[in-house]
Structure 1
Amino acid sequence: MYYLKLSFILLGFLFFTSQLANAQVTAGLYTNGTFTQIGIGSNPEKKFFGEGRLFAGDYLINSFGFEALGQYNFQKSDWVNISGGLMLGYYEYVEGIRAGIPLLLAIKPIQNNRKFSVMLEATPMYGHEMLALRGNFGLRYTLGGQ
């Protein structure tokens, strides 16, 4: 049953990424000290953008999880983007679904390469009768486009 669920989720993730193949796509790596996530999403320079994330486990924490994020850019500039939105995720370690409100700060530190971003994220989350605040640090790069 576990492999069937994992196969279904991976197929959905591959379908999501194939839909983005002709557009600008972002690839990101995020961590909060406990979990590492890999993500792929749409163009973060647009007013609305989305991202899908998979948890990348290791020997100590080898549980599976995935998230879908929808974001709205509140402020965009050459150096910084500030966005917020909604997140919905499934996590094997709590055996359930969580919802959250991620707030992202994307800092674009390299003047000649605005496609690279350093990400700071704070997400109040609720699910499985628990309220939590997660902070993530990450790196994101936008592929394709001008």
Structure 2
Amino acid sequence: MTYLKSILFLLLFQACITQLANAQVTVGVYSNGILTQLAAGTDPDRKFFGEGRLFAGDYLNRYFGAEAIGQYNFYQSDWYNVSAGLMLGYYEFDDGARVGAPVLFAFKPISNHRAFAIMMEATPMYNGALGLRGNFGLRYTIGKK
């Protein structure tokens, strides 16, 4: 039985490594002037893509926060993408969860290097009260040809 488990583990491990070797992963940094977020996600040039974000605190803002975002590309071109989706987040400073609907504009300004994008985002949010957050950021897609 342990041989069967070992073989199954090795097959699953090989499948994961194969997928990761061919995957395109994005990394980014976003800021709204108060909070900075570090992000990692899936290929943003697919119709559906996702991203996870963590707050990068400093001396004044030492609180933990995390968000998971799912996006749908409504318009895609070589120069820019427009997407919208759903955001779920947890924030230590207000002891609660937030739900939002981010609208994202990604501009790819370098014609021979489309892996780099400048991001602008507006997110209406709700956590007991309505709010609006605007982010500006940079994103790079690793593995993009």
Q: Report the counterpart of residue 68 of structure 2 in structure 1.
A: 68
How far has the Cα of 1:130 moved from its partner?
Answer: 1.4
Q: Report the counterpart of residue 131 of structure 2 in structure 1.
A: 132
- RMSD, aligned CA: 1.2
Pair 1:79–1:145, CA change in 2 (3 A)? closer
How far has the Cα of 1:66 moved from its partner?
Answer: 0.3
Amino acid at match of 2:44: P
CA shift digits 1:65-105 (9 cap, x unpaired): 00000000000000010000000000001110000000000
TM normalised by structure 2 equals 0.85
Verify the 8 A CA contact 2:115 2:144 in the aligned structure 1: no
TM normalised by structure 1 equals 0.84
Structure-2 separation of matches of 1:103 and 1:91: 20
Structure-2 separation of matches of 1:131 and 1:58: 26
Structure-1 separation of matches of 2:144 and 2:110: 18
Report which of the two structures shows the higher radius of gyration computed on alpha carbons: 2
Deviating beyond 2 angstroms after TM superposition, the runs of 4 or more aligned structure 1 residues are none
Aligned residues: 127
In the alignment, structure 2 segments of 5+ residues that lack a partner are: 1-16
